[in-house]
Amino acid sequence: MTLLFNLMAQSLQMLLVLALAPLLIGFVRKLKARLLRRRGPPIIQPWLDLIRLLRKEVVLAENASWLYRWAPYLIFAMIWVAASLVPTFATGLTFSWSADLIAIIALLGSARFFLALAGMDIGTSFGGIGSSREAMFGSLAEPAMMMIVFTVSFVAGTTQLSEIAAYMAGNLELRASVGMALVALLIVAIAENGRIPVDNPATHLELTMVHEAMVLEYSGRYLALIELASALKLLLYLSLIACVFFPVGLASHDAGAEAMMIGLGAYVLKLAIGGGALALFETSTAKMRIFRVPDFLGAGLMLGLLATLLVFVTRSL
């Protein structure tokens, strides 16, 4: 009976992230429109767009290889698995043993690798530009992410997310290193999800677009999978921030259904706060020029490095 309950909780988490990811995008768009005194599309509009794309016929370039066809499936699967591993409403679920920060970074890096390859596969200029920019940003974002992981894992003594969340929930104290890691993670999250000021997901300007340039030639179900993967990635980063730095309300795997419902409500509230903060930040910030993005990511890398060094220094005292 316990095994069945744990499997149901794990399945609920996998379906939950899949259902909430497009709604989070819709919530951010709606809130941004309201802040600009516009009515905006309904929150479920991303789901309606995905259903419309799934019904459309796929149009492929003649020289598209098998990689171009399979990349959307691989990217979606990797990011969905990564998003499902991050504790959302409960810790210690059935697959929590694999919820390791290093494994999640590896899955995200692999998804980036296949997306960049797919962008270059059919040989268009936009795809090449987007892939080269994605590789450039990734060369700074991934080391910054590793520094953040080192900081958090040195503080908590593990890279396992459920144990990190339990440690952070039981040791609520102000740490400069954890604060710097949080700011670094916010910078990386903005860059990795192509949000303002790094990129503008609502436009297709050839001089600035990164993610949209790589997927410009996709259509139909392929584009739907990539759009859903992109929404899952944003939800993953918000879940990661909530799990590691704000683990309030997280239930344990043996806490029962009532505690998990409370954890679910707390998780939805955290997503709403994170989405609201993102909408407010994007509304009040201008997009930066493309060659200044490395400086922005470099600041995240330096903050992550300083946070790691600070942990070592404070431990040696």
Long-range contacts of 167-172 (CB under 8 A, 24+ apart): 168/244, 168/245, 168/247, 169/247, 169/248, 169/250
pTM for the complete prediction?
0.94
**Backbone phi, psi, residue 107, to 5°:** -65, -45
Euclidean distance between CA atoms 267 and 21, whole angstroms: 13
Extract the tokens encoding 176: 């400069």
Reading the chain (317 residues) residue by residue, the pLDDT tens digits are 667 777 788 888 899 999 999 999 999 999 999 999 999 999 999 999 999 999 999 998 888 999 999 999 999 999 999 999 999 988 877 777 777 899 999 999 999 999 999 999 988 888 888 888 889 989 999 999 999 999 999 999 999 998 999 898 888 777 889 999 999 999 999 999 989 888 877 766 666 677 778 888 899 999 999 999 999 999 999 999 999 999 988 888 777 788 888 999 999 999 999 999 999 999 998 888 888 899 999 999 999 999 999 998 887 66
In DSSP terms, 90 is beta-bridged to 251
